[in-house]
Amino acid sequence: MPGPFDTTTKYLVQTYPRDWLGRFGLASSARLDLLDADLATVNPLADKIIRVDEPAPWLAHLEFQSTYDPAMGQRVAEYNLLLYGRHGLPARSLLVLLRPSADGPALTGVHTVGLPGEEPEHRFRYRVARLWQESADAYLTGPLGTLPLAPLANVETEALPELLRRLEDRVDQEATPTEATTLKMVTFTLLGLRLPRELARDLMLGVRAMRDSSTYQMILDEGRAEGEARGRAEGRAEEARRMLILFGTPRLGEPDAATLTALAEIGEPERLERLGQRLSLVASWTELLAPS
């Protein structure tokens, strides 16, 4: 089931698809269309698919991993082939490894199928991005859509406070207030891939400007909710509900009292997470919550 790291990375690609293509060398000025629902019958947790409408159209396929899965190369190859069968378009696949513990000997960028001692019958190549080997400055000076990944790049832990200060300066100057708050919360969530959650919270709140922002209270509220709900199913549901509202508001608008009541009545975290997967497919909270 999708967790907070899945939700945040998919949100970034969904909101800033062109930023992601450019950051990983797949830049295009053509029209882009998100096709993230197309693999739902195969795997509802498949990550983002972007159609690039160049004269010769193609698909960009992004997968994110925060833990090591030795079968990931096979999965990426399967998705790539399924995409070609579904759309009749070639797909470029990129596997984004979010932390060192997601890496392993099987993730070589090549997946082969063949009999022992013989030339492979099939050879599939995919790109692998290892964030901890990337330049933090490249993310800090790059587009907003990949800026929250900067703390996961090649930067010493001692330098994180200054990095977070620079990151916040950029989002405050370039993003709308709502967008800035969302990007800061995404950064906080992703920072949990690198640091214990309590330390990540203390580090972000140690940045003076962060303490003065609206994100301060959101992080404190998140910390209190986490402490009260740790180890309980209610905690998972509350986290899923919070993320749904956080990422749904920029797209669907501020939820009214009736919507908040309806969300509060949903106690199953799996259902809330499925609603999060549908945010890019609906135009209102009413449509999102309508019986399917």
In terms of C-beta distances under 8 Å and separation of at least 24 residues, what long-range contacts does 39-44 make, across chains too?
A: 39/79, 39/82, 39/83, 42/79, 42/82, 43/79, 44/274, 44/277
264 pLDDT band (50/70/90 cuts)?
confident
**Predicted local confidence at residue 279, as pLDDT:** 86
Domain extents for the chain? 4-133, 156-282
**Predicted local confidence at residue 193, as pLDDT:** 87
CA–CA gap between residue 280 and residue 251 (Å, rounded): 8
**Predicted local confidence at residue 99, as pLDDT:** 93
Measured in residues, the chain has a length of: 292
At 96, is the secondary structure helix, strand, or coil? strand
Total-model pTM: 0.70
**Predicted local confidence at residue 38, as pLDDT:** 45
**Predicted local confidence at residue 1, as pLDDT:** 40
CA–CA gap between residue 181 and residue 213 (Å, rounded): 8
100 pLDDT band (50/70/90 cuts)?
very high
Element (H, E) at 58: strand 58-65
Average pLDDT over residues 110-136: 91
Q: Helix 269-277 and helix 233-252: axis angle, to 10°?
A: 20
Average pLDDT over residues 102-118: 91
CA–CA gap between residue 290 and residue 292 (Å, rounded): 6
**Predicted local confidence at residue 103, as pLDDT:** 95
CA–CA gap between residue 15 and residue 27 (Å, rounded): 16
137 burial level (CB within 10 Å; 0-12, 13-18, 19+)? middle
Residue 159 has pLDDT above 50, yes or no: yes
Phi, psi angle pair for 205, to nearest 5°: -75, -15
> Greater confidence, 6 or 249?
249
**Predicted local confidence at residue 221, as pLDDT:** 52
